[in-house]
Chains A and B, each alone.
Chain A
């Protein structure tokens, strides 16, 4: 009898140990995906910034306004292509078609329009007018937007932690906007406004997509998102802003096109790993890790674009990142719960 009980206890310990190990491995992999999504998104932003400084984006009197939106459209379209190739290799194409026909699939498409043409366009306009080093931290306010929308539309109460996180974000934003950078940025504040627009778009996308993503395979959800956003940007936005000429010229400029293709590859990796992280460790931690892109962005911007990083910018970016993380989760709780 005692031997039996001891045997059972041993088995229970083994089971618990194996479960903890499995959970820990899953969490580590999910977290790694989250970090990778942040790093690769920063890479995508910087490389797009480089592309925007080249022809045909610099040609024409209204190039300054048109170029970022054309770049956003091509970036999303090529990202969609990379993701389709990935899904085709994995054997997911049937599942993709089936998923689009469902209600969550449609919600992903609507979210895609908010997060794609609207947010990405604003983001690139921000990069154009105030530089990537400033745009990234401001755009990282999107969880704040998400929290506000959740409060207004879904009656999700805002805890003290979220409120404090938001306050820190706003303080960080103020610090960043305080002093324009050296160099040619005549429309600096307009750029900041656009950067904030991208936070609005992505925040709204996040809130809506969370509903849609709960039942759809994350690899497929992100592919649906990029296809929708690429199509909407290319077929609706580009013609509206008279960007067809530039779009066509870009397709005939292999040098710049290749740079965007590489940017789109890093973008595809970023989106894939971001949605995977969301599925594996939850949307809030996934977003928190992804948001580190604004800090990675500073590092890359410093080394690859020769921008001068002011003290205000660095402190501000750190504050926004920390504040955004605080909005999505309690870092101390998460770190102690999930273990090392």
Chain B
């Protein structure tokens, strides 16, 4: 359990640095134990923020497919710019404890 919890938006970017790619559902699964009890932790919010992160070049589409309900399932992966920002702004204790 980390002493200093990251802002959720940082933690989202950090998640993408630890996986090849992932969807919003993978993200929620990974972050549920840390942020699950917070009101901001909703699929709609996270999806919207992922879209913004993509608009700002922090992550990019890895692949897109249709799920069982014919809705889009978007896989994102971190970009070089995202990695650079994470490297620059991630607090020291996060850099050491979890591989970034």
Contact = CB atoms under 8 A, between A and B. Distances in A.
19 contacts: A11-B66, A15-B65, A15-B72, A18-B72, A19-B64, A22-B72, A90-B39, A92-B40, A95-B38, A98-B8, A99-B7, A102-B91, A103-B88, A214-B56, A215-B7, A215-B9, A215-B10, A215-B58, A215-B85
B72 A19 contact: yes
Contact of B4 (A18, A19, A101): A101
Nearest to A22: B72
A280 B72 contact: no
B18 interface: no
A98 B58 contact: no
A216 interface: yes
Interface in B65-89: 65-66, 70-72, 85, 88-89
B29 interface: no
A15 B64 contact: yes
Contacts of A22: 51, 72
Contact of A102 (B7, B65, B72): B7
A217 B58 contact: no
Given A95-B38, A95-B40, A279-B56, 12 more contacts: A14-B70, A19-B72, A91-B38, A91-B40, A92-B40, A95-B7, A98-B8, A102-B91, A214-B56, A214-B85, A215-B9, A220-B7
A92 B49 CA distance: 14
Given A15-B66, A279-B55, A217 B89 contact: no
B5 interface: yes
Contact of A14 (B7, B39, B66): B66
A281 B38 CA distance: 27
Interface size class of A (residues with CB under 8 A): 20 to 34
Contacts of B72: 15, 18-19, 22
A103 B55 CA distance: 22
B52 interface: yes
Interface string A216-239: 111010000000000000000000
A91 B39 contact: yes
Interface of A: 11, 14-15, 18-19, 22, 26, 90-92, 94-95, 98-99, 101-105, 214-218, 220, 279-282
A214 B65 CA distance: 28
A20 to B, nearest CB: 11
B6 interface: yes
A217 B9 contact: yes
Contacts of B13: 215
A102 B11 CA distance: 12
Nearest to B47: A22
Nearest to A92: B40
B11 to A, nearest CB: 9
A98 B55 contact: no
